[in-house]
Amino acid sequence: IGNGISIIIFGGIVASLPGSVVSLFQGPSVTSNVIGTVMFVAIGLLTIVGIVLINEGQRRIPVHHAKRVRSGRMYGGNTTFIPLKVNSAGMIPLIFAVSILVFPGLIAQFLSTSSNVTLRNFAGELSRFVSPNTLPYNIVYFVLVVAFTYFYTMVIFQQQKISENLQRQGAFIPGVRPGKNTQQYLMRTLNRITLIGALFLGTVAILPYIAAQLTGVNSLLLGATSLLIVVGVAIDTMRQLEAQLVMRNYEGFIK
């Protein structure tokens, strides 16, 4: 049950959580800012609930299969659906965005040792800009996550060739012509639901900065990527456990 590497990463993240919780409640900010600490914890819990809802959220597009007669027998005529997920990209946009934002820091670190005063000053300004505690950094981070969410979702959607497969199977979406019109309809629908997922993913990415500004508590329990990994692995493992239980119930029923 579960993916081995994912379970190992999940265990490492969860194992570090108790120490972070202890350091949070033992810090001086707890006694001086009780309301802020409570808000900080509440934001974390609401974020977990939001991640579960967004990861599990989907728009079901109904698909009708045309009836076919073969050898005197009727086939098809049933109705299925195409599940378009709100967050099809997962944590990939966060990884892409962080990878891009690392480069300015590396450039600043390289230029900081230059003998040229102008380059050293530029390196200092660049270092301050790419600091995760600054507003410009988080704005750029948010925009990159939203952009990469759309980009990655569209790449996955184009590779699936859903409209061509539906037309080949004699299936169609009610009220939409097969072929190009189906492709355009699916793209419009996917763009609308991806907007929700992209904005939420961007908000989760900059959540540490938002939480620090709202609560005054700078302690970070889990980063955005770590939170997505923990919730994603937990949901996937739960599904596999449920599938195993259902399978065993069916075996007992058949016997």
Sign of CA dihedral 62, 68, 74, 75: negative
- 24 SS3 class: helix
Cα R_g (the chain), whole angstroms: 24
| Nearest C-alpha neighbor of 229 from the set 101, 106, 51 | 51
CA distance 200 to 54: 8
Which of 74, 13, 19 lies closest to 219 in space, CA to CA? 19
Do 235 and 55 form a contact (C-beta atoms < 8 A)?
yes
**Is the Cβ–Cβ distance between 230 and 15 less than 8 Å?**
no
Query: What is the pLDDT, as a whole number, of residue 233?
Result: 79
**The pLDDT of residue 255:** 44
Compute how many other C-beta atoms are within 10 angstroms of the C-beta atom of residue 153: 23
**pTM exceeding the 0.85 threshold for the entire prediction:** no
Q: In the chain, what are the domains?
A: 28-218 (1.10.3370.10)
Question: Taking the chain (255 residues) in consecutive chunks of 10 residues, what is each chunk's mean pLDDT?
Answer: 70 75 61 67 82 86 76 67 85 85 82 78 79 85 92 84 81 83 88 90 85 69 72 79 71 43
